[in-house]
Amino acid sequence: MQHFSIGIVSFAFAILFALAVILRYALVAIGIWYRRQPPNKDRVLIGIIAAAVFGFVAGSFLQPAWDQGVVCKAEGQPIVPCVLSVG
């Protein structure tokens, strides 16, 4: 089995990680606004890009398991034991 592959999981994780960073920055900004503090000078774009790259790489490591799960489901086998089988 491969250990790295690019596919739908790679892109989904990149988007999810980027959205998580955006949500975090939004919540922090709301908290700062609520407390009437000066705004942060964070580099939001750099954080979003870094999270997206990390999510893409993490998703690429999980993509082979997803592909194996699709094959197992098509063959009618139980998905979890089939994906986790070593041999």
Kind plus residue range of the DSSP H or E element containing 26: helix 8-34
- Spatial contact of 42 and 32, defined as CB atoms under 8 Å apart: no
Ranges of each domain in the chain: 8-63
Q: Which residues fall within 8 angstroms of residue 49, CB to CB, at 6 or more apart?
A: none
- Residues 5-50 pLDDT 10s: 999 999 999 999 999 999 999 999 999 999 999 988 889 999 999 9
- Residues 53-67 pLDDT 10s: 999 999 999 999 999
- Spatial contact of 78 and 36, defined as CB atoms under 8 Å apart: no
Residue 70, pLDDT > 70, answer: yes
- pLDDT of 81: 87
Is the pLDDT higher at 55 or at 1? 55
- Spatial contact of 47 and 30, defined as CB atoms under 8 Å apart: no
